[in-house]
Structures are given as structure tokens and as C-alpha cells.
Amino acid sequence: MKHRSAGLQAVSFLTMLFLYGPIIVLVLYSFNAAHLSMTWRGASLKWYVALLHDEALFAATANSLLIALVSTNGATGLGGLLALGMERMSPRRQQTLKGSPELRPENPEGRTPEAQILQTGTDRRTAPDTRRKTLRKNEMKNPNSGK
């Protein structure tokens, strides 16, 4: 059996607590008898009984569960097909795809401005100011070119 470091175990535990802690709290507070969830008034199934008797709320819950089920199965299926397809590729092509930004699980919001800066040399937040400065410099060099 491999020896695991205490630091790795602590980080793993804290990560799981961070991910699953809010879900556990939500499930526990769903059994709260109070009208508002700010205070605990004892355990009760009153909200689940209300869910069964309210048709609109029951339909919305069923719709949410259906969407969750379909999206989870769809993402799992697509990921599995991608893994199978990559496994059957040549090693060189696998490396090309592994380096693709579309397949990395990183933050896409951080990549979009980076790509724009690399392609255009400008950042969209400063692009209007940059263009004005460039126009002013060109006008000062050639005052008659704009007329």
C-alpha cells in the first residue's frame, strides 16, 4: 500500500468539503420546519409534503431533474466518445489535441482576452483609447492625410 502525505490528504479533504459542503447544508436545511431557513425550528417533512400537493412546483421540480439527467448523461456520453476517439488516434495527433485550448479544463474567460491581445495587439478594454492615440499620432505626422 502506498504511503500518502498528510498534506495531500488535507487538501483533498478540504476540496471535497468545499465542493460537497454546500450540498449537504442544502439537504439538511430542506428538512427545516421554519418558514425561513435562517433559523432551525426542528426537523420536518412539511416542505416535501407541500411539494407533492402543489402541481406547478412539482412540475418545475420534475423539469429541473429531467434537465439535470439529460445534461449529465449527454456530457458523460460526449466525454466518453471523445476519450475513445482520442485513444484510437496516433500518438502525434493525440498530443496535438491534448494541447488544444478547447479541450483544456481551464477557465475560458481568461483565454478569450488573451487570444484577442495576441491576434490584434489590443485589449478590448483599451482598444478605443489605443485607436484614438494612433490616429492622433498619424495626424500629427501627416496633417493633410486625413483631409
Express each pLDDT in 111-122 by its tens digit: 566 566 666 665
Same domain, 42 and 58: no
Quote the pLDDT of residue 92.
81
Helix pair angle (55-87, 46-53), 10° resolution: 90
Structural domain boundaries, residue 79: 54-105
Same domain, 72 and 45: no
Q: HEC string of 34-66? A: CCCCCCCCCECCHHHHHHHHCHHHHHHHHHHHH
User: What mean pLDDT is predicted for residues 95-115?
Assistant: 60
- Number of domains into which the chain is organized: 3
Flag whether the pTM goes above 0.85.
Answer: no
Residues 6+ apart with CB under 8 A from 116: 122, 123, 124
Quote the pLDDT of residue 90.
86
Quote the pLDDT of residue 145.
53
Same domain, 5 and 42: yes
Asked if residue 30 belongs to a domain, the reply is: yes
